[in-house]
């Protein structure tokens, strides 16, 4: 379990620069959702996104990503409802509802990232690391603005962290990074 903690903490810090001031975009990546309300993983990701918001930022934009991959409604819409109605989010909100993979999450979110000083990508740490690598590939000029989110917390999801870490390592070893299906959900 300690290896899982270490691997997830390490993944949460890869591909990011030092925190800086200014405006920010917090990009939350969705997970396959079959129902009509945000599932447990999507609710957790929204909470991690909201705790990643810097209260001292000059401006914050919350970008929720995910199309209708497994159900009739988009993941972004369900996460947006949860953020606003349940968690009380009142700031700027963008729903990116067309993506069907992590590669597309990033590609379709890029227009909402161009005018901010820093970018945080929030999901499971290994998934966020993958998404940061995708941003570096798709838009290197934006990737230099990446800063850490707060998706990693010691002890949170502890029993599952070794599984998440092993899944991330296995994907790297198999060389499955790329624009095709990536297994993390949209």
pLDDT tens-digit map of 161-184: 666 665 665 566 555 544 444 544
* H/E stretch holding 73: none
The string of pLDDT tens digits covering residues 57-72 is: 999 999 999 999 887 8
Predicted TM-score (pTM) of this structure:
0.83
What contacts 30, CB < 8 A, 6 or more positions away?
42, 45, 64, 65, 66, 69, 74, 75, 76, 79, 99, 105, 185, 186
In terms of DSSP H, where are the helices of the chain?
A: 2-13, 40-51, 75-81, 102-109, 125-138, 140-143, 161-174
């Amino acid at each position: 379990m300690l290896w899982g903690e270490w691997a997830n903490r390490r993944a949460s810090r890869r591909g990011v620069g030092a925190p800086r001031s200014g405006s920010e975009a917090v990009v939350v990546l969705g997970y396959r959702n079959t129902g009509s309300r945000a599932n447990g993983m999507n609710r957790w990701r929204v909470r991690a996104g909201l705790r990643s918001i810097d209260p001292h930022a000059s401006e914050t934009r919350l970008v929720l990503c995910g199309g209708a991959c497994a159900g009739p409604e988009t993941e972004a819409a369900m996460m947006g409802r949860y953020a606003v109605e349940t968690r009380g989010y009142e700031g700027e909100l963008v729903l990116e509802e067309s993506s069907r993979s992590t590669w597309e999450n990033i590609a379709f979110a890029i227009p909402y990232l161009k005018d901010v000083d820093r970018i945080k990508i929030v999901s499971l740490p290994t998934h966020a690391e993958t998404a940061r690598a995708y941003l570096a590939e798709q838009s290197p000029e934006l990737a230099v603005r990446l800063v850490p989110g707060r998706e990693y917390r010691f002890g949170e999801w502890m029993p599952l962290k070794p599984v998440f870490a092993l899944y991330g390592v296995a994907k790297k070893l198999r060389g499955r990074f790329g624009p095709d299906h990536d297994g993390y959900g949209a």
